[in-house]
Structure 1
Amino acid sequence: MTERSRHSTSRRTVLTTGAAVATAAVGGAALAACGGEQGGPTSGGGEQQPTAGGQPGQNLTSLSDVPVGGATAVTTPDGQDAVVSRPSANEVAAFSAICTHQGCKVDPQGAELRCPCHGSVFDAFTGEVRRGPADQPLPEINVRVDNGRIVTA
């Protein structure tokens, strides 16, 4: 092998290795963005997210702001993304809005909570998984109605 061909092989190896490293870095960044940019911390799929803490009686939203048979996105007093739903006129429920699959924030759509990242669908009234890839329900937040307000219980 001549000096020039050894130099070409070495250069080709460096370029190939550099391309592989760059591809891995881009792929890793995409997975990291998918995994947690929208909400709570996860260290892998399916882990439960923290639910609203703090004192009972903290306001989440007005009862009139949540449609009967639907759900509304809210932020808890401690800054967490949550969803409050209203299965009937006198019944309310609340859940973490962070998908248990990869940590993206779910969107309320009628009686469903849909994850825009991977297509998981949750029941807005129970938090249960209707369609995966998520395999764990959304963590419940205990709530009650107090003078027309939905508050933590």
Structure 2
Amino acid sequence: MTSASLEPGAGQNRRTVVATAGATGLALVLAACGSDGGSGSSDPAGGAGAQGDGASTGGGSGGGDNAAAGGTVLAKTAEIPEGGGKIFKDQGVVVTQPTAGRFQAFSSTCTHQGCAVGSVSDGAIVCPCHNSRFSVADGKVQGGPATQPLPAKNITVSGDRITLA
């Protein structure tokens, strides 16, 4: 960017100075709002969850630390019990590990009436409001009154860290 004097000089009038200052300010604002160059993660298979091999998908929330990839670090893999899961209320997500090394993530909002799910036990994510139960493997309804599965959320598993994508 070239520098321009904001003082009127030979051949410049007040209008030119104001226009130059405005254009310079606009250029700075546009540069600051440019692309962050980050990329979101998605599940290439279209399913929910993330595999323990560093692939991303599923959903999760937690910790609040920002990972280098731009997401929120939710937990370490050891914090998610095999066959169970952990609810991250602040992020509105539940992360599960249906089988060893396979991590999934779902919205923690019940699809029946919008209550927050309250626990994960016996292979199910359970809503305390009306006892709807959802599979830790795929978020599908195991028992109503809910009729829709929990929506999948994107997570990334890298090493021993689970990050909300």
TM-score, normalization by structure 1: 0.58
Partner of 2:74: 60
Q: Is the 8 A contact 2:140 2:150 kept in 1?
A: yes
**Superposed displacement of residue 105, structure 1:** 1.3
Q: Deviations over 1:49-74 (max 9, x none)?
A: xx879x75321111010011111111
1:1-153 to 2 correspondences below 5 Å: 56-75=70-89, 79-106=90-117, 107-153=119-165
Higher Rg: 2
Q: Is the 8 A contact 1:61 1:74 kept in 2?
A: no
Q: Is the 8 A contact 2:60 2:163 kept in 1?
A: no
Q: Which runs of 5+ in 1 are unaligned?
A: 1-50
1:149 maps to amino acid: R
Q: Is the 8 A contact 1:70 1:87 kept in 2?
A: yes
2 CA distance for matches of 1:143 and 1:135?
Answer: 25
**Superposed displacement of residue 110, structure 1:** 3.4
Runs of 4+ in 1 over 2 A off after TM superposition: 55-58
1 CA distance for matches of 2:129 and 2:79?
Answer: 26
**Superposed displacement of residue 144, structure 1:** 2.2
Q: Is the 8 A contact 1:71 1:110 kept in 2?
A: no
2 CA distance for matches of 1:100 and 1:86?
Answer: 21
How many equivalent pairs are there? 100
2 CA distance for matches of 1:124 and 1:74?
Answer: 15
1:147 maps to amino acid: G
2 CA distance for matches of 1:67 and 1:115?
Answer: 19
SS of corresponding position for 2:109: coil
2 CA distance for matches of 1:149 and 1:110?
Answer: 24
Greater helix share, 1 or 2? 1
TM-score, normalization by structure 2: 0.54
**Superposed displacement of residue 86, structure 1:** 0.5
Root mean square deviation of aligned Cα: 2.3
